[in-house]
């Protein structure tokens, strides 16, 4: 355990100093995207990976976060930091409303319902003039400051903010996994009827998972809005964004604490690199590779990269004749 803690502290320190050593703006941009997707995906994993309810509509929470903070700022000059929290609360309320019909459904039906609801909400925003409609909203430039959540001279502050937010999200996942809540979630994933028979209020805990997931995803959305300074329904709540969030988690390993980060570490640099190498003619080529990777992972390693690493560790320990903790394999 102590070894693990030291490893984590070293990792965080490296992440903290990395952009100070290698300062290229593009490099920092990629790091920011990595942690942004890792965070959204980690939030998704609480409901998708741990509780087993595959949502393809998480982009709506992302969008709600982005829109809430932006609108509060535009109309009442509320700092995005407060807007971020309000956005989280709004997302939780929407999650509870959406969950009401959606959680009556299982498997494919739940998945389809989340896609449908996502498309309905996106359509509403596209045709709603008060929130900028299809044209979207430009966030006006203000003086660079932490309070304004705007930094123009360097990307570094954005990096440290998203790194911190990601670590907080990771800690939430960690404590959920270690607590009774995590066991409830996993019990629902493995066999909902059995979980119910054991006295777990399955419906309630699905709502809990969805609400935490929505809150954290909305916070990612606010960050994204402040980072790009422009939002519209097709960039902050499209189906493709929901998909990307899910892809990161599948590749990394659903239901594993490190899964989303691993997935993000592979997929985001891949997409940014192909964008640079192939230019605009190759736009979308990274998705060709994504598609192939997802197929291969599903066919040969359904537990994702994190599952693969754990399996490898497990076999190594077993080969060495050491003590094996049987509970760590949970494919």
Partner 1 sequence: MDIILQIIVSGLLIGFVYSLIAIGLTLIYGVMDIVNFAHGAFLMLGMFTAYWLNQLFNFDPLLSLPISIIAIYLLGWLSYKFVVNKVLNAPPVAQIFVTFGLMVFLENLALFLWSPDFRIIKDTFVSGDFNIGEIMFNIPKLIAALGSVLITGAIFWFMSKTRTGRALKATAINRDAAKLMGINTDKMFALAWGIGGGAVGAAGALLTNFYYIFPTVGATFNLLAFVTVALGGFGSIQGALVAGLLIGIIENLAGVFIGPAFKYAVVFAIFILVIVIRPNGLMGGK
Residues that bind partner 1 (CB under 8 A): 52, 54, 101, 104-105, 107-109, 111-113, 115-117, 119-120, 123-124, 126-127, 239, 243, 247, 250, 254, 282-285, 287-288, 290-300, 302, 331
Minimum CB separation of residue 11 from partner 1 in Å reads 28
Q: Which is nearer to partner 1, 7 or 109 (CB)?
A: 109
Q: What's the chain's length in residues?
A: 331
Rounded Cα–Cα distance for residues 284 and 78 (Å): 37
C-alpha distances in Å from residue 169, one per residue of 37, 44, 81, 189:
12, 11, 16, 21
Neighbouring CB atoms inside 10 A of 153's CB total 7
CB environment 196-217: b (16+ within 10 A), e (fewer): eeeebebeebbbbbbbbbbbbb
Q: How far is residue 202 CA from its own chain's centroid?
A: 23
Neighbouring CB atoms inside 10 A of 144's CB total 13
Minimum CB separation of residue 176 from partner 1 in Å reads 19
Locate 112 and state its tokens.
Answer: 């389809």
Minimum CB separation of residue 104 from partner 1 in Å reads 5
Minimum CB separation of residue 305 from partner 1 in Å reads 14
- Residue found by looking up tokens 């891949």 in the block: 270
Q: Which is nearer to partner 1, 109 or 175 (CB)?
A: 109
Rounded Cα–Cα distance for residues 99 and 76 (Å): 30
Q: Which is nearer to partner 1, 130 or 319 (CB)?
A: 130
Locate 13 and state its tokens.
Answer: 């320190």
Cα three-residue angle 108-178-16, rounded to 5 degrees: 95
Q: Which is nearer to partner 1, 35 or 290 (CB)?
A: 290
Decide if 65 contacts 88 (C-beta within 8 A): yes
Minimum CB separation of residue 62 from partner 1 in Å reads 19
Minimum CB separation of residue 108 from partner 1 in Å reads 5
Minimum CB separation of residue 114 from partner 1 in Å reads 10
Neighbouring CB atoms inside 10 A of 119's CB total 15
Q: Which is nearer to partner 1, 25 or 330 (CB)?
A: 330
């Amino acid at each position: 355990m102590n070894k693990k803690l030291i490893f984590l502290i070293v990792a965080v320190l490296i992440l903290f100093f990395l952009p100070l050593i290698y300062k290229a703006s593009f490099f920092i941009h990629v790091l920011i995207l990595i942690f942004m997707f890792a965070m959204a995906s980690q939030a998704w994993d609480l409901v998708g990976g741990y509780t087993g309810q595959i949502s393809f509509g998480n982009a709506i929470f992302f969008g709600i976060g982005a829109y809430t903070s932006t609108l509060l700022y535009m109309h009442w000059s509320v700092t995005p930091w407060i807007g971020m929290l309000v956005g989280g609360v709004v997302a939780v309320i929407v999650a509870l409303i959406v969950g009401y019909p959606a959680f009556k459904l299982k498997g494919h039906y739940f998945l389809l319902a989340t896609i449908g609801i996502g498309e309905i909400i996106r359509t509403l925003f596209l045709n709603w003039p008060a929130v900028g409609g299809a044209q979207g909203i430009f966030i006006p430039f203000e003086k660079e400051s932490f309070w304004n959540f705007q930094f123009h001279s360097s990307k570094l502050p954005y990096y440290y903010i998203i790194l911190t937010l990601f670590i907080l999200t990771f800690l939430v996942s960690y404590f959920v996994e270690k607590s009774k809540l995590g066991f409830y979630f996993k019990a629902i994933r493995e066999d909902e009827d059995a979980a119910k028979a054991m006295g777990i209020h399955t419906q309630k805990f699905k709502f809990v998972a969805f609400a935490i997931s929505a809150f954290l995803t909305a916070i990612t959305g606010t960050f994204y809005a402040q980072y790009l300074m422009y939002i519209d329904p097709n960039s902050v709540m499209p189906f493709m964004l929901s998909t990307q969030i899910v892809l990161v988690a599948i590749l990394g390993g659903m239901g594993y604490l490190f899964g989303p980060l691993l997935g993000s570490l592979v997929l985001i640099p891949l997409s940014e690199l192909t964008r640079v190498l192939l230019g605009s003619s190759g736009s979308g080529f990274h998705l060709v590779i994504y598609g192939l990777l997802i197929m291969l992972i599903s066919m040969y390693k359904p537990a994702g990269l994190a599952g693969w690493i754990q399996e490898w560790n497990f076999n190594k320990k077993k080969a060495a004749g050491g003590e094996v903790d049987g509970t760590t394999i949970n494919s």
